[in-house]
Chain A
Amino acid sequence: MTINKYLIEYSINSLLRQKSKNTFIIIIFTFLIALITSIFFISNSIKYELNSTIDKLPDITIQKLHGGRIVDIDNSVIENIITIAGVQSTIGRVWGYYYFENAGVNFSIMGIDNFETQYTKSLEKVIDDSTKTDILDNNFMLVGSGVKKILNNNFFTNSFNFISNDGSFKKVKIGGVFKSDIELQSNDMILVSKELAYQILGVDKSKSTDIVVKVSNPKELNTIVNKIKLLYPNTRIITNDDLKVSYESIFDYKSGLFLTLFIISLFTFFIIIYDKTSGLSSSEKTEIGILKALGWKIDDILKEKFYEGFIISFISYILGISIAFIFVYFLHAPLLRDIFEGYSQLKTTFNLPFVIDFQILTLVFFITIPVYISATIIPSWKTATLDADEVIR
């Protein structure tokens, strides 16, 4: 099939003849495509972030309950659990939240020991051995990028004064900023030595906040869970799968909000489509009549209208995708980001990981461009099938 360049030229001229109307359509269409694509990009990035987080979570987390509340667990439990067949390692974690009143945010404080960092690979990636020594031997801390930003804003550039559990101040130097590929996990986190974590969080040194267990064979996970449950009936045992469900339900809640936005966008889009399909202006009808009278066949007219629809929708698609790309990955989705801020006690900002899924781009292409082209062609087809005489009259 040869492309008729005169027909394309005519289509371009035809669009230029109604410059303001078509510019308006491109602006609205671009905005809608940008909004829909941004929603997809954000959802996809969060999904990626959550999946990455879930993959790196411990196999089993053990928490002690007292009156339904989580309380610190005795370190002796660690020694007993390691003896269960199939358990590869157990670590007592000391962690908690520190409320920084000036900024009204919670930081996550995590105590680490030299031999215990293996419970999360992401932390291993960002801490080299020399930094670890600094943290473990001195009053140093490593902070996530979100924490660093907030501390800087509050003029804590080199050190920070924690209010310990006993009410005393504990000055801790900022050793550096760590950044992992999972910002949800690292952004609001402060890494300190376990010793320091005990002091700041007021945890008894014979106890841990919870215990994480790594199993050698994932197939034995349920058996090991049952054994722990038998040994310690007053504990809550959370498996990786439980956490996955919990994360996914949060994601579903967020995606529900996105879905709402998505539906609103589509609704607006279909109003434009409805408006377009509801009919042509009298000058547009006359033009079709003239073209028919001059010997244009119905399919010549439809081809011309196809080019018009394609040019408008493709320009809008390219602009919309580019704007969404810049909006989400360079500007970090202002306004839309507010919807998912607050996740995991997070009020500090985090960057969405760069994930481009061509399926998304294809999906957006197919839910917008063919619909718009059809909306351009259908009313023209209705007119083109009438007698030219009837249309011109």
Chain B
Amino acid sequence: MIKLNNITKIYDINKNNSITAVKDINLHIKDGDLIILKGASGSGKSTILSLIAGLCKPTEGEVIVDEKGISKLPDHFLSLYRRENIGFVFQKYNLIPNLSVKDNIILPLIPDNPDEDILNTKLQEVMERFTISHKKDIIVRNLSGGEQQRVAICRSMINNPKIIIADEPTANLDEKLSLDFIDILKQLKENGKTIIIATHDPLFFNLDFASKTIDIKNGKIIS
């Protein structure tokens, strides 16, 4: 269960150009839910994702994940929280362009220094699931947009996280690849993952397997 209680996030709070990204947000997400956050660019969707992922801390309010307040966790524990619980698919995928597919996917595992067999098993599993194993040694900058996205999904799944967060995941994809991605989401939901997606792509708005679609405007939930 993810709870956002009275969350406000102001960027550059002590500066002249401070921006209120979200204001007094309350949101409850149950385990296994697939939530669509929709809204225009700059509406505050990405900030909500960042708050849930522990990538930033709220100015006011509290984020609670599985009964644990993560907002006040020190950086060290926040990193562990992300590593164990969160799989993040970024808008521009945020892959390391000059690394191979394999090297990008294993990035979340590196700090744990896993046994080589365990690492290879996890890698193989995730690459086969998202049909990218044939490109294992290719440098990711040489891949197509859809392939890069699958690498980003593999990377987000390698630690088998409970929560998948995706920020504008289809912004750089054509319609066919976007539909492929939606299929992947369906699979993940069937596997019991909690999924939160920020998007303004209409393809997502009428998904029959989505638990809830939330409209965000000017940092507030409007429906």
A→B interface (CB under 8 Å): 2, 4-7, 10, 13, 17, 286-287, 290-300, 385, 387-390, 392
Contact = CB atoms under 8 A, between A and B. Distances in A.
Contacts of A387: 55-57
A294 B108 contact: yes
A295 B108 contact: yes
Contacts of B113: 2, 4-7
B84 interface: yes
A6 B82 contact: no
A202 to B, nearest CB: 79
Given A6-B110, A295-B159, A389-B50, A290 B94 contact: yes
Contact of B82 (A295, A300, A390): A295
Contact of B83 (A7, A294, A299, A385): A294
Interface residues of B, number: 33
A129 to B, nearest CB: 72
Contact of B111 (A287, A293, A300, A389): A300
- The 6 nearest A-B residue pairs measured at CB: A295-B83, A389-B56, A389-B55, A4-B113, A17-B98, A297-B79
Interface in B39-66: 47, 50, 53, 55-57
A291 B55 contact: no
Nearest to A5: B113
B80 A297 contact: yes
A293 B106 contact: no
Given A7-B113, A388-B55, A295 B75 contact: no
Interface string B121-161: 00000000000000000000000000000000001000100
Contact of B110 (A4, A17, A286): A4
Contacts of B204: none
Contacts of A13: 98-99, 103
A287 B96 contact: yes
A281 to B, nearest CB: 14
Interface string B89-119: 0100010101100010011111101100001
Given A10-B107, A292-B79, A293-B55, 14 more contacts: A2-B113, A4-B110, A6-B114, A7-B113, A17-B96, A17-B99, A291-B107, A293-B90, A294-B83, A296-B83, A296-B107, A297-B75, A297-B80, A300-B79
A297 B76 contact: yes
Contacts of B50: 389
Nearest to A2: B113
B76 A295 contact: no
Contacts of A299: 76
B90 A6 contact: no
A13 B139 CA distance: 12
B57 A10 contact: no
A392 B107 CA distance: 16
A228 B76 CA distance: 81
A300 to B, nearest CB: 4
Contacts of B47: 389
A9 to B, nearest CB: 8
Contacts of A295: 79-80, 82-84, 86, 108, 111, 159
A300 B108 CA distance: 11
B44 to A, nearest CB: 13
A247 B101 CA distance: 66
Interface of B: 11, 47, 50, 53, 55-57, 75-76, 79-80, 82-84, 86, 88, 90, 94, 96, 98-99, 103, 106-111, 113-114, 119, 155, 159
A293 B78 CA distance: 10
Contact of A298 (B75, B107, B108): B75
A293 B47 CA distance: 14
Contact of A6 (B55, B109, B155): B109
A8 to B, nearest CB: 10
Contacts of B110: 4, 6-7, 10, 296, 300
A59 to B, nearest CB: 68
Contacts of B82: 292-295
A140 to B, nearest CB: 73
A3 to B, nearest CB: 8
Contacts of A293: 53, 55, 82, 88, 90, 94
Contacts of B86: 295
Contacts of B84: 295
Contacts of B96: 17, 287, 290
Nearest to B50: A389
Nearest to A283: B97
10 contacts: A2-B113, A4-B111, A5-B113, A291-B107, A293-B88, A295-B79, A295-B86, A300-B111, A389-B55, A392-B55
Contacts of B94: 286, 290, 293, 392
A5 B110 CA distance: 9
A300 B111 CA distance: 6
Contacts of B99: 13, 17
B24 to A, nearest CB: 20
A187 to B, nearest CB: 56
A388 B90 CA distance: 13
B140 to A, nearest CB: 12
Nearest to B56: A389
Contact of B56 (A2, A4, A287, A390): A390
A6 B106 contact: yes
Nearest to A300: B111
A295 B86 CA distance: 9
A390 B82 CA distance: 16
Contacts of B76: 297-299
A305 to B, nearest CB: 14
